[in-house]
Amino acid sequence: MMLQRNGRTKALAIGAVAVVSSLTLAACGSNNNNTSPSSAPSTGAGAGTSAAAAGADCGTGQLMGAGSTAQANAMTQWVKDFQTKCPGVTINYNANGSGAGITSFESGKVAFAGSDAALKPTDVAATKTTACPGGQGIDLPMIGGPIAIGYNVPGVTGLILDAPTLAKIFNGKITNWNDAAIKALNPTATLPDLAIQTFHRVDGSGTTANFTAYLAATAASDFPYTPSKLWPAKSGQSANGSAGLAAQVKQVKGSISYFELSYATAGSISTAKIATGAAAPVDATAANASAAVADAKVVGTAPDLSLKLNYATKADNAYPITLVTYEIVCDKGNKADTLPALKAFLNYTISDAGQTSVGSLGYFPLPAALATQVKTAIAALA
């Protein structure tokens, strides 16, 4: 794996760390391949529910998807459960990052793309030819989850950080763990004289887009960059995918990075509490992230359901560094041979069974009113 520091590429040996980036399930029989850093056990609610129960026939054939690593763990579970009752469909989801997934979707290589950031106008325009003849790409929110701030500081647990301190760390302005700003937030902790090693995504990532949006919204003077799928600051080192970031934090003393909570849980990685101005610093949990998303606004024009999140929330027990991950599909112009399977699979993922089946993986279900809007949009796909 190639890592980058201060704009210069350096090769670092990182042991036998493999980032699993694709998931293929055979049309018949069981297959335990998955995109997650750990296996995702089946839950009763999801495994026993067919696509037909969610309001659509199964369809047949092969369904291709690509994109978000944030939803890779959920996708593993969803595909496993869906195929239990729909063995005539083969689903292949390549967790290669939101940016790569959107590119594949725009070129017509996949029926859907997973993304942790909504399509930009230029992306929508690019979908109107090859991908969606007669239509365009739309954003369907599907599941939510917190972006954890994972760290590896020997002897330090319960670390508290706030937006300005995080911004200075990831912008290279705070470079040691015993910095006065960190001490002020953690007065009882024994902070070591240890260099901070920051890691960010090298690939285009919706997780990066959401994390940089949080920093820009809450600490613009210390992180003066436009939110982007590509890491905008010049400091730090890079790794590929959320699994790559988690692997680096797991093994590098003094490290800190951002990735979905499920990767921190699977790797037993400590995560920071965020001081937001609420009564107490907030833990990175699915429930606390759900509280932050409760006041998200739909800003897309139906059937597009892109959301605007409130990263600057100060509500008690509301974790602010949160993402909602989307499935990007064509509103019209879908391929006739894959449309039934696409609608069936999406109907399962947004069903009560699909939403609850991934709760143990660190995700939270969409609010009921928003889920209803998603179901309406799926029914209209053509």
pLDDT confidence of residue 2: 36
Distance between CA atoms of residues 222 and 33, nearest Å: 42
Contacts of 125 (CB under 8 A, 6+ apart): none
Mean local confidence (pLDDT), 312-325: 95
Is residue 311 in some structural domain?
no
Q: What band does 57 get if pLDDT is binned at 50, 70 and 90?
A: confident
Is residue 316 in some structural domain?
no
Q: Which two tokens stand for residue 128?
A: 């109107």
Q: What band does 40 get if pLDDT is binned at 50, 70 and 90?
A: very low
Is residue 60 in some structural domain?
yes
pLDDT confidence of residue 262: 87
Q: Are residues 168 and 126 in the same domain?
A: no
Counting every residue written for the chain, the total comes to 382
Q: Are residues 137 and 56 in the same domain?
A: yes
pLDDT confidence of residue 66: 98
Q: Are residues 169 and 36 in the same domain?
A: no
Res. 29: pLDDT tops 50: no
Q: Are residues 129 and 151 in the same domain?
A: no
Mean local confidence (pLDDT), 147-173: 97
Q: Are residues 125 and 162 in the same domain?
A: no
Asked if 329 and 111 count as a contact pair (C-beta separation under 8 A), the reply is: yes
Q: Is the peptide bond before 187 cis (omega within 30 degrees of 0)?
A: no
Res. 174: pLDDT tops 80: yes
Is residue 255 in some structural domain?
yes
Mean local confidence (pLDDT), 50-64: 69
- Percent pLDDT > 90 in the chain is 81
- Give 321-379 pLDDT, tens digit per residue: 999 999 999 999 999 999 999 999 999 999 999 999 999 888 999 989 999 999 999 99
Distance between CA atoms of residues 78 and 143, nearest Å: 12
Coil, strand or helix at 13:
coil
Q: Which two tokens stand for residue 151?
A: 């760290």
Q: Which residue has the tokens 């879908």?
A: 334
Res. 4: pLDDT tops 90: no
Q: Are residues 172 and 278 in the same domain?
A: yes
Asked if 252 and 229 count as a contact pair (C-beta separation under 8 A), the reply is: no
Mean local confidence (pLDDT), 237-265: 96
Q: Are residues 334 and 352 in the same domain?
A: yes
Q: Are residues 139 and 211 in the same domain?
A: no
pLDDT confidence of residue 295: 79
Res. 9: pLDDT tops 70: no
Res. 45: pLDDT tops 60: no
Distance between CA atoms of residues 111 and 377, nearest Å: 16
pLDDT confidence of residue 10: 34
pLDDT confidence of residue 294: 83
Distance between CA atoms of residues 149 and 142, nearest Å: 23
Domain that holds residue 192: 4-11+147-291
- Give 67-88 pLDDT, tens digit per residue: 999 999 999 999 999 999 899 9
DSSP secondary structure string for all residues of 155-194: T--S-EEEHHHHHHHHTTS--BTT-HHHHHH-TTS---S-
- Give 86-133 pLDDT, tens digit per residue: 999 999 999 999 999 999 999 999 999 999 999 999 999 999 999 999
Q: Which two tokens stand for residue 365?
A: 């279900």
Q: Are residues 39 and 128 in the same domain?
A: yes
Q: At what angle do helices 206-218 and 163-170 cross, to 10 degrees?
A: 120
Distance between CA atoms of residues 78 and 99, nearest Å: 22
Is residue 109 in some structural domain?
yes
As for how many domains the chain has, the answer is 2
Is residue 314 in some structural domain?
no
Average confidence score pLDDT of the chain: 87
pLDDT confidence of residue 33: 33
Is residue 317 in some structural domain?
no
- AA identity, residue 76: T
Res. 55: pLDDT tops 70: no
Distance between CA atoms of residues 363 and 87, nearest Å: 26
Q: Are residues 206 and 246 in the same domain?
A: yes
- AA identity, residue 282: V
Asked if 79 and 23 count as a contact pair (C-beta separation under 8 A), the reply is: yes
Q: Are residues 174 and 99 in the same domain?
A: no
Distance between CA atoms of residues 256 and 269, nearest Å: 10
- AA identity, residue 261: L
Most confident of 21-25, 204-208, 251-255: 251-255
Q: Which CATH number belongs to the domain containing residue 169 in this structure?
A: 3.40.190.10
- Positions of E strands within the chain: 2-5, 8-11, 22-24, 61-67, 89-94, 112-115, 137-152, 160-162, 197-201, 237-239, 255-260, 270-271, 273-275, 297-298, 307-308, 322-330
Res. 154: pLDDT tops 70: yes
Distance between CA atoms of residues 31 and 22, nearest Å: 13
- AA identity, residue 222: D
Please state which of the ranges 176-180, 197-201, 359-363 shows the lowest mean pLDDT: 359-363
Is residue 320 in some structural domain?
no
- AA identity, residue 119: L
State pTM to two decimals: 0.78
Q: Are residues 367 and 351 in the same domain?
A: yes
